[in-house]
Amino acid sequence: MSKVVGFVLKRSMPEALDALALAQRLSPDCRFLIEKEGHHALANPPQGVEAVDQETFAKEVDLVVVLGGDGTLIHAASLLQDRVVPIQGVNLGRVGFLAEFPLDDFEETYPRALADEFKHVDRMRLDVEVSRNGDVVLGRRILNDAVVAQLAMARIAQFKVHFGGRLVTSLRGDGLIVSTPTGSTAYNLAAGGPILTPGLEAIAVTPICPHAVTQRPLVLKPGEVLEISLESDNTVFVTLDGQYGHEFVRGDKMKVQRAPSTTRLLCYPGRSYFRTLRTKLGWGES
């Protein structure tokens, strides 16, 4: 039985289209899908490639191949809100922290990905809801992080943080980052948060420029609901995975909890997470 392969492309890069054409030659019996709309859609899809809506894409694919960078991979993960489908991340970007597979090896690794020959890691995701007066105004399942931050330079904001219905802290500062282990090496790390290894079941809560130096990053076991509310008159903004956002005003609440489904990333053979930290991020170098 032939497989359905979904491609998520960084369309500005000719290498992505070349790799898609190569995949068609390597697996002529497969059905190929791409997105019909959005930043990763193609105005003129190649012959034999179907442009479909996101619902069809998520429902029918057996394998997702990402041809781009980490941002493209995070977008691909967002398409699979409910299903766990293997993702082969082929790096065409600068860092390639999540997209582990080199483009030069694609001719060899793509058929092996189709044959399910690679190990994988299941990355924890979070379900995030932003509500106003009891109505949900933004809700997504995310792989990376949820950020509540100032829109522009303004007076300091005040937040309250609850976990499992219990008060954790009142925080004055520029905002908060709530990240998964996957997102811990992104904005969270830049803000002084901890690195969480991929297999952990944990959430990092990192203040952005807190007024009190004693308010440090916190790591939580994701068994209960984390809630963040704005207690001042500032207007801040919630951003989910850097792709979806909504204004956040006094009285709004953001609830975060562990998602029931994960993101499944195929692993490039011989790649060590800690080696990637050292080589891609310069971690531990003096």
Active site positions, annotated? 70
Q: Any idea which residue has 């003096």 for tokens?
A: 286
Under 8 Å between Cβ of 124 and 181: yes
What does the alpha-carbon distance between residue 146 and residue 187 come to, in Å, rounded to a whole number?
Answer: 10
What does the alpha-carbon distance between residue 184 and residue 4 come to, in Å, rounded to a whole number?
Answer: 32
Partnered with residue 163 across adjacent β-strands are 166, 226
How far is residue 158 from each of residues 137, 151, 164, 171, measured CA to CA in Å?
Answer: 21, 14, 20, 6
What is the per-residue burial (b if ≥16 Cβ within 10 Å, else e) of 75-94? Answer: bbbbbbbeeebbbbbbbbbe
